[in-house]
Structure 1
Amino acid sequence: MKIREIVFLIFSALLLSGCMTGKQNQKFTVTGVEKPVISLNGVWKFSIDPPEKFWQKELDSSEWSDINVPGECQMQGFPIKADIPFAYRTRFDVPEDYAGRKIMLNFHGVYSYARVWVNGEFVREHFGGFTKWSCDITEFAEPGETAQLAVEVVDRSDDISGASDYAKHNIGGILRDVELSALPVQHFEKLHIDTELDEEYQNAQLNIDYSLSSSKPSDILFRLFDAQGRMIKKAEIPQAEKQGSVSMDIESPEKWNSEHPYLYTLSAEISKDGKVLCSVPEKVGFREVKVRGEKLYVNGVEVRLRGANRHDIHPKLGRCATAKYDKLDAQLTKQANMNYIRTSHYPPTERFLDYCDRYGIYVEDESAVCFQYEGISSNKDKFTDRYLSQVREMVNNHRNHPSVIIWSVGNESSYGKNFQKSYDWIKANDKTRPVMFSFPNTVPKNKKVYDILSLHYPKWHGNDKVHGFQIKNFDRSGMPVIYDEWAHVPCYCTDSIKEEPNIRAFWERSLDKMYANLLKSKSGAGGAIWGMIDETFFLPEDLPGRGDIWDNQGENGSTEALGPAIGYGQWGIVDSWRRKKPEFWRTKKAYSPVKILDKQVDQFSPGEKLKLKIHNRFNHTNLSRTSIEWNYMGKSGLAFADIAPGAKGHLLMPELNWQEGTKLSIEFFKDRRLLDKYNIRIGKQGNELPQIKKQGRITLKNSSSKTAAEGENFEFVIDKNDGLIKNLKLGGELVIKSGPHLHLTIFEKLGWNSPIKNLAAGEWELKSSSSSLKQGVLHVQMKGSFGKVSAEFNIRINGVGTAEIDCKASGIPGGKHIKEAGFKFITAAAEKISWERKGYFTAYPANDLSPEKGSADLSYTPEMKYRQKPEHCWIYDSEDYFYFGLDKTLPLSMLARGLKENIFRYSVFYNRGGRLDVLSDAELGCRYERQAGKDSLIINSIWDYPDLQWGNYAEFIKNKKSFSANAVLELNKDY
């Protein structure tokens, strides 16, 4: 049994022993009430055009439509529109044991304005779609009877969250859970917890601030339990007053941080005359957040945040939060080596924060205020209550979560007095966390509305002017900087995404370089990828009036939706079904807390230890607390490293028989979770390219229109009219129809959805051509042009089918960004491709878009149906409903279509056994293309994705007026 498995069994036993006590898993209880919290989720009745006084108890709504709660209306087929009310109705039973208690309705999120009636009686209204709010219905609902609930909802165009605007459709509806709950007459109206650590960050103080619902004296008992259910402290307050506070001194508590998320449980009980009225459990994490100078500290340790921006999204229910996806998103966050989530652009559910507490994820909790530019709402009195009510609900509902380390008062908006009042209220009510705001450049110099500088989309190298703030190597003196939007995932580069998906793999350079450079800075406290989950909503195909709902699709590059799959686009490292995209593994690698700095070891001696440079990029964890497993040429074992957080050192491998051209595999684990994997090259890994010399026999036959060439296993003709090789056959099987053709694409300009132009799409004009045998090798030369672009090809091929092709082109228009440059062959339809390549990283999973070794079946396109979750991995998709609409099935899977960079060998396999190999010393990129029934093998010496933009890395090859490409090809009769 491996050591990692033994540790897992011990860990599981400890966890189970803790569960047996029941203390850390206790729930909110009310004495005498069997179910103090009852979910009202389910199928309700819905009317898009409700009758007058629809809230009346006697009204018959049985003929109304059914709708799922929670869930968006439009996503369920109801074409609601902005500022036009719609209505819900449902019935619920009030348990008899709710008698004598306060009866509450709890709405966890209704977008964006709601009014509530119970049994025909108006209860209250509420602005804001993403915070929990409650209705006291005690006087309207009778225990033991059935109550009638009516809710009117309006998707208001003036909502300060702007959420329907950036969702590209009206998201109105009951988006989150609805509950019925019972409270004793005497209960906690407020129960706020914070922890304070001493100067040595050793001992702690647990501070509890509470208020009761009644001034009648009651007894309060606070008890603190550890993770194993052992009580370690208690505080009793007999005859407690309505408001009060208490502190507990805790000696050497386990600290909570993202790497060691240790949780205690505080039980808060209210008693009267010796009888417990209710018990409230709260998870407690002992942690302290401080901003000192230019750094952000958690428990006295400087932290670097590596994260992403997360939206609530469900592909069929829309901007809806579900228990399944709340948990899954937290798990995916940890799997991707992220320690930080920005809750763009509204607060998350309490449930999601519970998982962040449990798994160890730092959270920037953001108020639902977005895109409120000057003159919209930030300076207007009529919106002040909305700003403040949302901030109050966010802070009061979420302040007890240790995972929440930063509040944000809003996203990408202009400063105004309503933001100032929001900041001031937070600072007056919660002094334990810093506050952020974007855009900070709009804040007057004499005003303070943030404690950490928020900057969006720096360049990957960190030397830039962002929102008017000059940064150098990601540093900005004065305070910490969090780039809480950076490394934008490919999304708006529509033409590139449509052509082939490798742009998603190329993006790895951006995030890896950004985070590595930020770690060298003094004030750079972290960054968050935009974004975590694809922003694609799968509206019903037959939604009435769908074309009228959002009438500017495609304008300003905001979306390129071609059908009912709408939104901003595929900007996630996972798709909306939560399937991992190519960007997921690349995030895991770039954000890895354990970085081996050597990709290749050139100096080694068989039988001696191997020393690898390594960087511990954890904030709180010594590498001795990780499990390190190695595998080399059939042997395996464990390694050990004692390196402090943030430090660099060496990892020693045992005395093995190291051999040139092999690979050493190393995996790092923490808490049974794979942190990273490396395949370290031992010695040189390049290809020994074959020499083009006389081998086999090649013969020529000339006629007035062509030259026929025949070798050992192949034959082809050279067309004298255009100089091209045509009808190349291997063992009698047609493989290449014609070529080589110049392949040259450019971006005439960069911007939203930068269009690609093919400079070799015109008519090929042959200027000269020749072919001759020299010392058993066929030499073919042709010169010509596509308009102003001139091209020259020199081909040498011997009798066994080894060929070298040189391509040179000139006359490329100056000032244009090159996307791809090389040559291609028009081929017969192949059945499979395979490749070996040199990756940017040394290890990729087998189901990646471009692992270092891989293959793709060109006929494998699994069935996909709109609005149905695919059962296969993302790489096998052959449908893209967002970019191509519902009517187009791609002829190849993503895996097959994607460019493979830096190839050693790229092979194309044909039905009857022929194989075409492209060989390179990791200098070429190859891809297979199938369009309109025409197959092509494209061989590039240049490829680039400058349309990534947003500060992402690219070569930006702009002024290159000429290029050359060289490839070695092998023609093989048999696989």
Structure 2
Amino acid sequence: MKFKGFVFLAFSAVFLSGCMTGKENQKLTVAGVDNPVISLNGVWKFSIDPPEKFWQKGLDTSDWADIKVPGECQMQGFPIKADTPFAYRQSFEVPEDFSGKKISLDFHGVYSYARVWVNGEFLREHFGGFTKWSCDITDLAEPGQTAELAVEVVDRSDDISGASDYAKHNIGGILRDVELSAVPVQHFEKLHIETELDEKYKDAQLKINYSLSRSEPSDVLFRLLDDHGQVIKKEKLAEAQKQGTVLMDIQSPRKWNSESPYLYTLSAEIVEGGRVLYRCPEKVGFREVEVRGEKLYVNGDEVRLRGANRHDLHPELGRCATAKYDKLDALLAKQANMNFIRTSHYPPTERFLDYCDRYGIYVEDESAICFQYKGTSQNKDKFTSRYLSQLREMVNNHRNHPSVIIWSVGNESTYGKNFQKSYDWIKANDKTRPVMFSFPNTVPDKKKVYDILSLHYPKWHGNDKVQGFPIKDFDRSGMPVIYDEWAHVACYCTDSLRVEPNIRAFWERSLDKMYANLLKSGSGAGGAIWGMIDETFFLPEGLPGRGEIWDNQGKNGSTEARGPAIGYGGWGIVDPWRRKKPEFWRTKKAYSPVKILEKQVDEFTSGEQLKLKVHNRFNHTSLSEVAAEWQYMGKSGFAFSDIDAGEEGLLSLPALNWQGGTELSVKFFKDRRLLDRYNIRIGEQGSKLPAIKEDGKITLQRSSSQTRARGENFELVLDKEDGLIKDLKIGGELVIKSGPHLNIKIFEKLGWNSPIKALAGKKWEVESSSCSVKKGVFLADIKGSAGKISAEFKFRINAAGVAEIECKATGLPEGKHIKEAGFKFITADAEKVSWDREGYFTAYPENDLSPQKGSADLSYAPEMKYRKKPEHLWVYDTQDFFYFGTDKRFPLSRLARGLKENIYRYSVFYEGGGRLDVLSDANLGCRYKREAGKDTLIINSIWDYPDLQWGNYAKFIKTKSSFSAKAVIELKQDL
């Protein structure tokens, strides 16, 4: 199945194409008109309860409120309700040089039903909130005069996008740009541009099908220009008829793909007497999409899509699209090594697609239909026009973009005749792209409504039955499969998210394993993370009437928001302000197009070249176009290889004095953009655990209530009442107040939100406690219980302050999923923690939640204000307005609170120079907790996040009747 490169443009009395939107770097020219496209964005007048005949000309709106356009109403403090009309008014000047032109009002997105009046005259209605539509106001707007615009909007509960229900509040309003535009009476009414490549994908034919707005013949000129403005080809039609076709043979054009997004410009012009009356420049990418058997191809190259699902989201204006965030989101996608965006669950702005064209991002463009299950709209005649009208608007607006390689007729809905009509319409009007539909399992046999199989939430290993389709190693025979929702970012597991944030770092295993396993499959064409941006709407506090139709509390699978910030929560790799979360770097790593396949090189010879195993995971690019910058023991340089796209090979580094126990840094760059970074170990690194030397002097002082032990570098008390270690000091400074205490948390069951239960939360009851000194080592044996859990602790510490703690617990309920298990100490207030750990990946940025080596200042807890952009990085947040509400503020930042996995050393620093180090061979996880004036050091030998669910990776460790843990602690006095 072959889908030709295709560019499309269509507009009529009520529709103006993409070339007329004032696209960045594309200037529309209309003779005699200074600015043919004028933005009407800004402050409008608004009434939540408009008077009768509010559209009348001359109506006094002085008592109406001000509102920003574009932007949601509720996000600006107006408690609109479903199915209840509200109104906008705005006046605008019609430029004098619009005289003699066709004048239009262009609405890029009004949710979800709108009616429009100009100067008191009704123009039209429109269903659907996420597509561009226009009103011809030529006969109503007098150039040089002021025109009055009235727009009535209804947030309809029966809208087929379900977008308000989905957003957990009424999103109604003018959500996208509004523009005033002028074109000559004779203009291009339709402009279709196909780029067909030959069998060798070398030469191309540019096919232009045009239609003029009037039947009078006009001179038409088409010019194809390269990115320097040089004319490659041109064709002039003297006295062109109303409709026609132009063919241009282009020798060896540069191809457009996500890795080399080269764009030409087609200038379509209407000329009279050598004077250009009208010029519409369109970007052209020579690219061809094909489905052949079980694979997806672009320009003859098999492609694997690595992407995310993106929603429009403005942190202050809600489900709103702006130029700032359209551009930023495209740039963030490229920074995260994505080559694919699914525009869930509605079409994006054309401006966003402009950036996808420019930066190189493949797009699945989805019609605004979501969650239409059996018995809703998919088989009802009264909804057919809504399905088809917004589908036509999506396709006709966007098919000129090379970035759009797939159409989607809707999300997670039951098949019906309206979906069939949607598919049939696309196939009749655009044969250049494949079509997708979810849920495909609802499509009857012998019905065809998709060309690529869309499946949601496979398991990380790719062996599963997904929506009724058996999948083996991500393969499904018959056609390509795109898992356009996978690797769901932590969101619904609210208890885990409230305990500590490391679940966001742990998620890295899921996406990395999914994508690596998919690359081994035959038919797996790619996947898209759910999702890219946090689904959090910062509604004004105290918004009246909130939740009368849709409410985030307890409905549709409660996400348990605890305040005015509602939605689905933190399911993005960036937050609403576009601050990078831990998932961002992990996406960049998992989706890396250049993968070093080893963490440690054991076979090397000093003075000879070092060879690294590398997988080129690009679709179209040889590694000869990628620079590898290396650094080793004070030296640096660049290495290159010529590994072809999709192949594995060797990257050779210079003959250096390679030594065991060292580290090599390698960074990969393409077009000066950092693709990936690796820190590769050279040779064995050796254990970092100190021995507990049996020497030195320890004295014991016993009384009826306690035993006090003193060594060269410590002193402690063994309390006879509860049998615990108390008042552990380093050089006279208190560091541990009491412990060890059991720390065992489980999930009673896994579900939408999996509640966490502490098994050892009851008061500790001592059974026996004894101590002695043998060969310069203090020994304590403590036995007791906490509720039904019995435990024994063995504590050993030598005179130098090196201690070993062993724990064994029994009486655990069997078969429960473990959240974390280990023990903890109540500590004195500390100043800082630091860590050295084994990362899942070999390199993390310094400002990550858990880099291999890092530290956290326990006194740094920046203040945050609701609905105000934080000036600090995400890891330093002390509040989460969605999961905790506006009142809860942590005394520690996320960086300080987060569990650090697989530690070699976890250090706690105290004001007087005391330091406590937890040491392991990367088999322990540590975190620090400060709550209600109590500091706690938690040392876990087991930790897991099975509540990630959605096919994500977890260890799925279950409780047995007993559990044991062991740790080494070293006490130091830093001078």
Give the TM-score band, short-chain normalised: over 0.9
CA distance in 2, matches of 1:922, 1:520: 30
Partner secondary structure for residue 395 of structure 1: helix
Deviations 1:314-347, CA, capped at 9 Å, x for gaps = 0110000000000000000000000000000000
Any idea what the Cα deviations from partners look like across 1:494-526, whole Å, max 9, x if unmatched?
Answer: 010000000000000000000000000000000
Q: Within 1, Cα distance between the matches of 2:888 and 2:477?
A: 52
- Summarize deviations over 1:461-489 as a string: whole Å, max 9, x none: 00000100000000000000000000000
Cα RMSD (Å)? 1.2
Aligned to 1:672: 672
Q: Report the Cα offset of residue 378 of structure 1.
A: 0.5
Q: Amino acid of the residue matched to residue 810 of structure 1? A: T
1:684 Cα shift? 2.0
- Aligned pairs (5 A) from 1:404-415: 404-415=404-415
**What is the CA–CA distance in structure 1 between the aligned matches of 2:712 and 2:874, rounded to whole Å?**
42
**C-alpha deviation, 1:960, in angstroms:** 3.1
Corresponding position: 1:193 with 2:187 = no
CA distance in 1, matches of 2:359, 2:558: 35
After superposition, give the CA deviation of every residue in 1:567-607 in whole Å (9 maximum; x if it has no partner): 01100000000000000000000000000001011122222
On the 8 A contact 1:24/1:229 being kept in 2, the answer is no
Q: How far does residue 759 in structure 1 lie from its aligned partner after superposition?
A: 0.3
Structure 2 equivalent of residue 887 of structure 1: 887
Distance 2:704 2:140 in 1: 99
- Deviation at residue 26 of structure 1 after TM alignment: 4.7
Counterpart-to-counterpart distance in 1, 2:216 and 2:974? 91
Q: Where does residue 250 of structure 2 map in the other structure?
A: 250
Q: Counterpart of 1:360? A: 360
**Superposition deviation, residue 959 in structure 1:** 4.5
- Aligned pairs for 1:315-394 (under 5 A) are 315-394=315-394
Calculate the TM-score normalised by the size of structure 2: 0.97
1:34 Cα offset (Å): 0.8
State the AA in 1 paired with 2:263: L
Residue identity matched to 2:657: N
Seen in structure 2, the aligned counterparts of structure 1 residues 549 and 381 have a Cα distance that, compared at 3 Å, is closer
Q: Gaps spanning 5+ residues in structure 1: where?
A: 1-22
Instruction: Check whether the contact 2:223–2:233 (CA below 8 A) recurs between aligned residues.
Output: yes
Shift of the alpha carbon at 1:721?
2.2
Matches within 5 A, 1:376-775: 376-546=376-546, 548=548, 550-551=550-551, 553-775=553-775
Query: Is the contact between residue 695 and residue 775 of structure 2 (CA under 8 Å) also seen in structure 1?
Result: no
1:57, 1:690 → 2: CA distance?
A: 85
Q: CA deviation at 1:239?
A: 1.6
Q: How far apart are 1:686 and its partner, in Å?
A: 4.3
Shift of residue 24, structure 1, vs aligned partner:
11
Residue in 2 that maps onto 1:927: 927
- Distance of 2:566 and 2:762 partners within structure 1: 35
CA distance in 2, matches of 1:140, 1:686: 82
2:226 matched to 1:230?
Answer: no
Say if 1:741 and 1:824, in contact at 8 Å, map to a contact too.
yes
Counterpart position of 2:857: 857
* Separation (CA, whole Å) in 1 of partners of 2:434 and 2:767: 70
Cα distance in structure 2, aligned partners of 1:822 and 1:959: 13
Distance across 2 between alignment mates of 1:354 and 1:805: 60
Q: Secondary structure of 1:555's match? A: coil
Question: Using the alignment, how far apart are the partners of 1:235 and 1:542 within structure 2?
Answer: 63
Say yes or no: does 1:171 pair with 2:171: yes
Partner residue of 2:140? 140
Deviation readout 1:15-74 (Å, 9 max, x if unpaired)? xxxxxxxx9945111111111000000000000000000000021112200000000000
Equivalents in 1 of 2:209, 2:931: separation in Å? 67
The one-letter code matched in structure 1 to 2:739 is G
Equivalent residue, structure 1, for 2:260: 260
1:202-254 alpha-carbon deviations (Å, 9 max, x no partner): 00111112211111111111100011111010112222222222221111000
Q: Which amino acid aligns with 1:602?
A: D
Question: Aligned partners of 1:962 and 1:212: how far apart in 2?
Answer: 81
Which stretch has the larger CA shift, 243-252 or 283-292?
243-252
- What displacement does 1:687 show? 3.0
CA contact (8 A) 1:46 1:66 kept: yes
Work out the CA distance in 2 between the residues paired with 1:864 and 1:504.
21
User: How far has the Cα of 1:688 moved from its partner?
Assistant: 3.0
Alignment of 1:206-217 (within 5 A): 206-217=206-217
Tell me how far apart the structure 1 counterparts of residues 326 and 685 of structure 2 sit (CA, whole Å).
Answer: 44
Amino acid across the alignment from 2:153: V
Tell me if structure 2 keeps the 8 A contact 1:686–1:904: no
Corresponding pairs, count:
953
Residue matched to 2:828? 828
Equivalent position amino acid for 1:518 in 2: L
Distance 1:172 1:190 in 2: 32
When residues 686 and 128 of structure 1 are mapped into structure 2, their CA distance, relative to the original with a 3 A threshold, is farther
**Identity in percent:** 80
Q: Are 2:841 and 1:838 aligned?
A: no
1:221 pairs with 2:221 = yes
Equivalent pair of 2:552/2:560 in contact (CA under 8 Å):
no
1:58 is matched with: 58
Amino acid of the residue matched to residue 212 of structure 1? L
Q: How do 1:890-969 residues align onto structure 2 when only pairs under 5 Å count?
A: 890-969=890-969
Following superposition, the deviation at residue 790 of structure 1 comes to 2.0
Contact 1:76–1:317 at 8 Å: present in 2 too? yes
Instruction: Kindly provide the amino acid, as one letter, of the partner of residue 570 in structure 2.
Output: Q
- In the superposition, relative to structure 1, how do residues 879 and 947 fare at CA in structure 2: closer, same or farther (>3 Å)? same
Give how far 1:713 is off. 2.3
Using the alignment, how far apart are the partners of 2:692 and 2:361 within structure 1?
57
In 2, Cα distance between equivalents of 1:82 and 1:548: 9
1:782: which partner in 2?
Answer: 782
CA contact (8 A) 2:164 2:550 kept: no
Query: 1:918-944, CA deviations, whole angstroms, 9 ceiling, x for partnerless residues?
Result: 011101000001122111100000000
Q: Point out the more displaced range, 422-431 or 57-66.
A: 57-66
Asked whether the equivalents of residues 744 and 820 of structure 1 are also in contact (C-alpha less than 8 Å), the reply is yes
SS of the equivalent of 1:644 reads coil
CA–CA separation in structure 1 for the residues paired with 2:24 and 2:353: 17
* Paired AA for residue 968 in structure 1: V
1:729, CA displacement in angstroms? Answer: 1.4
C-alpha distance in 2, partners of 1:486/1:661?
A: 38
What is the distance in 2 between the residues matched to 1:27 and 1:556? 46
Q: How does 1:856-875 map to 2 (within 5 A)?
A: 856-875=856-875
- Using the TM superposition, give the Cα deviation of residue 868 of structure 1 relative to its aligned residue in structure 2, in angstroms: 0.8
Question: Which amino acid in 2 is paired with 1:478?
Answer: G
Of residues 727-736 and 484-493 in structure 1, the stretch that sits farther from structure 2 once superposed is: 727-736
Write the letter of the residue equivalent to 1:499.
V
Q: Which moved more, 1:238-247 or 1:165-174?
A: 238-247
Q: CA–CA distance in 2 between the matches of 1:126 and 1:610?
A: 65
Given that residues 709 and 715 in structure 2 are in contact (C-alpha distance below 8 angstroms), is that contact kept between their aligned partners in structure 1?
A: yes
Q: How does 1:17-32 map to 2 (within 5 A)?
A: 25-32=25-32
SS for the counterpart of 1:884 is coil
The Cα offsets for residues 842-897 of structure 1, whole Å up to 9 and x where unpaired, read as 00000000000000000101121111111111000001000000001111100000
Q: CA offsets per residue over residues 423-458 of structure 1, 9 Å max, x none?
A: 000000000000000000000011000000000000
Distance, in Å, in 1 between the alignment partners of 2:423 and 2:672 is 41
Whether the 8 Å CA contact 2:169–2:547 is kept in 1: the answer is no
Distance (Å, rounded) in 2 between the aligned partners of 1:310 and 1:783: 54
Any idea what the Cα deviations from partners look like across 1:820-858, whole Å, max 9, x if unmatched? 011100111111000000000000000000000000000
Alignment correspondent of 1:10: none
Residues 552 and 558 of structure 2 are in contact (CA less than 8 Å); yes or no, is this contact kept in structure 1?
no
Match of 1:3 in 2: none
* Counterparts of 1:427 and 1:604, CA distance in 2: 58
